[in-house]
Amino acid sequence: MGPLIAGIAAVGYVLLVIPALLVGAVLMAAQSSAAATAAAVECSSAQLLGYGSGGVTQQIGDETFTGEQLANAQTIVTIAVGRALPKRAAVLALATAMVEAGLVNVDHGDSDSLGLFQQRPSQGWGTPAQVLDPVHATNTFYDHLVALPGWQTMPPGVAEQAVQRSLYPDRYAPREPAGAALTTRYWQGPDNPAPPPPGTGPVDVDVTHGGCPDRGGGNLDPGGLDPKKLPEDFTLPADPLVRPAVIYALAQLGKPYVWGAAGPDSFDCSGLMQAAWAAAHVAISRTTYSQVHDGIAIGSLSQVEPGDLLFIPGSDGTPAAPGHVGMYAGNGYVVDAYDTDHGVILTTLDSWKPKVVAIRRVVVGGNGQQPGEDSRL
């Protein structure tokens, strides 16, 4: 019986132990393959996330930034590029956002300060929702920055402090090197020249068709029009780049004028222009003093086209720094948020002609050139 038992034992070993070993080997191989696959996926994801809107934590320059910080940095830089501002503007904005909120869009702060730049709704920086919107907050910072004469040549930290009015003015300058590194990382295209400072005269308008002989006394005449109703013979512009902006502006006829408002229920003059072009997926700056540098200059009212921004001194500006803006809607009419007594109205181009001191074309039709376009809107 001894050999028989030994044979049975050997067969049992073959039937039980060896398959178990094979299964174990297969499982180990599968686990190893899965781990390798997971590692490859993780590596691939990390490589992909390193681009786009921030991605994984990365070292840029001498500092390490989280994906959230990098996404906000890219937003700040992209808006500067879209507004044709110099790289210096992005550096200053990034340094400010790093000091104020660690480059994070926080929903709290000192007093009622909120967002990337710790802007205060109570101080006229916008509604809480607006200052918590990184795009709106960044544009507002740039609006205040470019209104400072000589901002681009100020010593480190000075321009940021002039905008922010911080209790700790010395904190901005040390953050500019990190801001410069982030700007280099996300900047697209060549650097831009600094826009002309306020007060230098944005463009000379051909006085044959315009100018400012009365120094902007206002008193725009609707010329027998119902200023809050579109004429029956009005035709919208055919240009698909311009048409949405004109449609939006005209749709606001009759709405009230509120200083500082940019819709949807009320507007000031530059707020209406910004909202109208946003409806056409084109970003322009917020204030009259900065919009007069947006797009390209048009030197004569004989060349005016629908969608062009027309600037007059108004009640609080000058020919060199106009204080009021309207949009040429076509067919000889201009739409603008006039004042608190009239709201958004329609007037004739003829009533504007003696007062216009600057014309800006936000988009150029035909070749599709769109200065300042922001595809995220």
Bridge partners, residue 257, by sequence:
267
The pLDDT tens digits for 143-176 are: 889 888 888 889 999 999 999 888 899 999 999 9
Q: What is the dihedral of CA 181, 185, 186, 188, to 10 degrees?
A: 110
**Cα–Cα distance measured from residue 157 to residue 154, given in angstroms and rounded to the nearest whole number:** 8
Structure tokens at 200: 């230098």
Task: Please give the pLDDT value at position 148.
Answer: 84
Please give the share of the chain, as a percent, with pLDDT higher than 90: 32
| 154 or 199, higher pLDDT | 154
* pLDDT grade for 27, boundaries at 50, 70 and 90: very low
Contact 258, 270 (CB under 8 A): no
Backbone angles phi, psi at 242, to 5 degrees: -95, -35
| Cα angle for residues 261, 264, 270 (degrees, 5° grid) | 40
Rounded Cα distance between 219 and 313, Å, is: 12
Strands 344-348 and 333-337: antiparallel
Q: What is the mean pLDDT of residues 339-365?
A: 87
Which pLDDT score is estimated for 219? 52
pLDDT at 18 over 70: no
pLDDT-derived band at 90 (thresholds 50, 70, 90) equals very high
Torsion sign over Cα 200, 202, 204, 209? negative
Tens-digit pLDDT profile for residues 246-295: 999 999 999 999 888 888 899 999 899 999 998 888 888 888 878 888 88
CATH assignment, 199-377: 3.90.1720.10
The reply to whether omega before 306 is within 30° of 0 (cis) is no
DSSP string over 204-254: ---TTT---TT--------TT--TTS--TT------TTTHHHHHHHHHTTT
Q: What is the pTM of this model?
A: 0.46
Number of other residues whose CB lies within 10 A of the CB of residue 74: 18
Q: Which residue has the higher pLDDT, 18 or 83?
A: 83
First to last CA, the chain: 90
Residues 336 and 298: their CA atoms lie apart, in Å, by 19
Sequence spans of domains, the chain: 66-186, 199-377
* pLDDT tens string 202-250: 444 443 433 333 333 445 555 566 677 777 778 898 888 899 999 999 9
* The residue type at 6: A
Looking at 99-103, 213-217, 229-233, 317-321, which range is the least confident one? 213-217
Amino acid making up residue 283: A
Gap between the Cα atoms of 144 and 164, Å rounded = 9
pLDDT reported for residue 221: 57
Reply yes or no on whether the pLDDT at 51 is more than 60. no
Residue 81 has pLDDT above 50, yes or no: yes
Contacts of 318 (CB under 8 A, 6+ apart): 199, 216
- Averaged pLDDT, 11-24: 45
Using alpha carbons only, give the angle 163, 165, 167 rounded to the nearest 5 degrees. Answer: 145
Q: Which of 81, 100, 83 is nearest to 163 (CA)?
A: 100
Q: Return mean pLDDT, the chain.
A: 77
